Amino acid sequence: MTKKYLQILSHYDLDENPVEATPFGNGHINDTLKITTASGTAKYILQRINHHIFTDVEMLQNNIRIVTSHIRKKLEERNETDIDRKVLAFQPAKNGKQYYYDGENYWRVCLMIPNSKSLEEVNPELSYEAGKAFGDFQSMLADIPEGTLGETIPNFHHMEFRLQQFHDALKANAAGRLDGVKDMVDEIEKRAEAMCIQEKLYREGKLRKRINHCDTKVNNILFDNHSGKVLCVIDLDTVMPGYVLSDIGDFIRTGANAGAEDDPDLDNVNVNLDIFKAYTRGYMETAKSFLTPLEISLLPYGGRLLTYMQTVRFFTDYINGDTYYKIRHPEHNLQRTKAQFKLLQSLEEHAGEMDGFMKEWL
C-alpha cells in the first residue's frame, strides 16, 4: 500500500522524499496517514477526503485555505513566534489545486506539526485550555465577511432542518419502529419550538452568523509535547458559517457529559458543571471581545440545543432503520438517543445555574 500512497504524493512538490506511509490518528471520517521521509522524519500528513460526506471538495479546501491564511496573518500581526507550529499548512498539488484527484478519491497533504500531541482526557484544567483555544480560534476568524466561506455540510447545526428530517422519518416509519417509542416522540415534539430560537433570532436580525469550528472536542487541539501548552486547533473540515452557540454547545455536549455518548447506564449520564464552568471561563477569556450580550447570554442554551439536536439525529436514524450512523447492535441508535436525552434532562435541571453563570460577563 505504501507504493500506492507514494504514487499519490508524487503529484506534490515536497521538500523531502517520502518513503513510508503508516495509519495515523483515530478519525472517523477521513483516512489519515503519517508520511516518513528519507531522513527518518515524520514530515507530512496524507489524507483521503471522504467526499461522500464533504461532497464539494473544491469548496472544502478553499475554506481551509482561507481560514489557515487568515489565522497565519493574525498570528503575524501579534508578533507570535513559532507560527509554523500554530497553524496548519496544506501543500498545493502540482496542478495548483489544494487537493489531488486520482479518478476515484480526493487527497490532500499538510505538514506535520513536530513535537505535538493530541489528548483524549477531559478535566477542568484541560477544559479551560480548550475553551481558550476554541475562543481564540473563533476570535481570529470573526472579521471574515459573511458569505466568504461555504457550508461544507449544509444545514449541519440547523435545528429546523434536523426537525424536518425527523418529521419526514415519522411519516415514512421505514423500519416500523414507531409504536415502541412514542414517548420519545412526544418528548422531542414538546421541546421543538423552544429549540429553534437561533434560526428565529437570525431571521429577526438579532443573531448573526459567524465562523465556527463545529467539532469542538479536546482531541481537535494540538499541545506541545514538552510544555503542554496549546499549539493550534486542527480538523478544519467543518469550519463554516453558523451560530456561535455551536462551538460551546458541542463541547458541553461531549466534554461536560459525565457518561458516554451511548452510555447504557443512564445513571452515569449527567452534566459536569466544573467542566462547563472551566471551558466557559477559558472561552470567554479569548472570545468576549467579539460576542454580543445576546450571544453571551445564550451560550449555556447552546449546550441544551446541541444535545437536543443530537438526540433528534440519533432518534431519526433509529426510526429510519439505521441508515446514517454506524451501529454495533440493532438498538444502538436508540441507546444513543436515550443517553443524549438523559444529558438534556440534566442540562435542563441545571439551566438556571448555568445561565446565571454567564452574568459575570454581561
Q: What is the pLDDT of residues 70-93, one digit of tens each?
A: 999 999 999 999 999 999 999 999
Q: Residue 144 in contact with residue 70, Cβ under 8 Å?
A: yes
Summarize the confidence of residues 212-241 as an average pLDDT.
Answer: 94
**Confidence at residue 146, expressed as pLDDT on a 0 to 100 scale:** 87
Q: Residue 162 in contact with residue 311, Cβ under 8 Å?
A: no
For residue range 271-314, list pLDDT tens digits in order. Answer: 999 999 999 999 999 999 999 999 999 999 999 999 999 999 99
Summarize the confidence of residues 143-166 as an average pLDDT.
Answer: 96
Phi, psi of 177 (to 5 degrees): -105, -5
Q: Residue 137 in contact with residue 233, Cβ under 8 Å?
A: yes
Asked if pLDDT for residue 103 goes beyond 60, the answer is yes
Split at pLDDT 50, 70, 90, the class of 340 is very high
Q: Tell me which DSSP letter residue 107 carries.
A: E
Q: Tell me which DSSP letter residue 333 carries.
A: H
**Confidence at residue 343, expressed as pLDDT on a 0 to 100 scale:** 98
Asked if pLDDT for residue 113 goes beyond 60, the answer is yes
Record the cell numbers describing residue 322, joined without a space.
Answer: 439505521
By DSSP bridging, strand 221-224 and strand 230-233 are antiparallel
CA-CA distance, 262 to 266, in Å (whole number)? 9
Summarize the confidence of residues 160-186 as an average pLDDT.
Answer: 97
Split at pLDDT 50, 70, 90, the class of 57 is very high
CA-CA distance, 149 to 144, in Å (whole number)? 9
**Confidence at residue 3, expressed as pLDDT on a 0 to 100 scale:** 87
Report the phi/psi class of residue 358: left, alpha or beta, with left for phi > 0 and alpha for psi in -120 to 50. Answer: alpha
Radius of gyration of the chain (CA): 21
CA dist list (Å): 46 to 92, 175, 224, 256: 12, 39, 21, 32
CA-CA distance, 341 to 309, in Å (whole number)? 10
**Number of Cα atoms under 13 Å in the Cβ half of residue 267:** 0
Rounded (5°) CA angle 308-314-259: 70
Sign of the alpha-carbon dihedral angle for 341, 192, 168, 159: negative
Q: Percentage of the chain surpassing pLDDT 70?
A: 99
**Confidence at residue 1, expressed as pLDDT on a 0 to 100 scale:** 60
Query: Read out DSSP for 247-283?
Result: HHHHHHHHHTBSS-TT-S-GGG--B-HHHHHHHHHHH
Asked if pLDDT for residue 333 goes beyond 90, the answer is yes
Summarize the confidence of residues 264-277 as an average pLDDT.
Answer: 97
Average pLDDT over all residues of the chain: 95
Asked if pLDDT for residue 28 goes beyond 60, the answer is no
Residues constituting the chain = 362
**Confidence at residue 176, expressed as pLDDT on a 0 to 100 scale:** 97
**Confidence at residue 25, expressed as pLDDT on a 0 to 100 scale:** 72
Point out the least confidently predicted range of 1-5, 202-206, 226-230, 349-353. 1-5
**Confidence at residue 121, expressed as pLDDT on a 0 to 100 scale:** 83
- The model carries a pTM of 0.93
**Confidence at residue 120, expressed as pLDDT on a 0 to 100 scale:** 87
Summarize the confidence of residues 156-176 as an average pLDDT.
Answer: 97
- Number of CB atoms found within 10 A of residue 17's CB: 11
**Confidence at residue 286, expressed as pLDDT on a 0 to 100 scale:** 97
**Confidence at residue 30, expressed as pLDDT on a 0 to 100 scale:** 77
